[in-house]
Amino acid sequence: MTGDNETEKPAAGTIIEVRVTPNASREQVTRDGARFVIRVTAPPEDGKANKAVTRLLAKALGVAPSRLTLLRGATGRDKQFRLD
């Protein structure tokens, strides 16, 4: 993850906006303002990309993947997660 607040963990209940690029050549997490931009190598089929996004986002935030809930965007590139 890149940005100035890398060590700051968000509070429970925080809504996190994410833009996803599946089938990328490499996995990467960056910030574009308040939104995360995540590139995953997984294809967007059978939830594989969503699982990879959840794993990478959790790692970038320093939380367990089980603490992230996908609220919107299960089948789209723009997603919204809640930190539980």
Work out the average pLDDT over 51-58.
Answer: 98
pLDDT digits 0-9 by tens, 12-42: 999 999 999 999 999 999 999 999 999 999 9
Q: What SS3 state is found at 52?
A: helix
Count of alpha carbons within 13 angstroms of residue 70, beta-carbon side: 21
Question: Domain 15-65+73-83's class?
Answer: alpha beta
Residue 4 has pLDDT above 90, yes or no: no
Report the alpha-carbon distance of residue 56 to residue 58 in Å, rounded. Answer: 5
Indicate the pTM of the whole model: 0.87
Strand runs labelled E in the chain: 15-21, 28-32, 35-39, 68-72, 78-83
Q: What SS3 state is found at 34?
A: coil
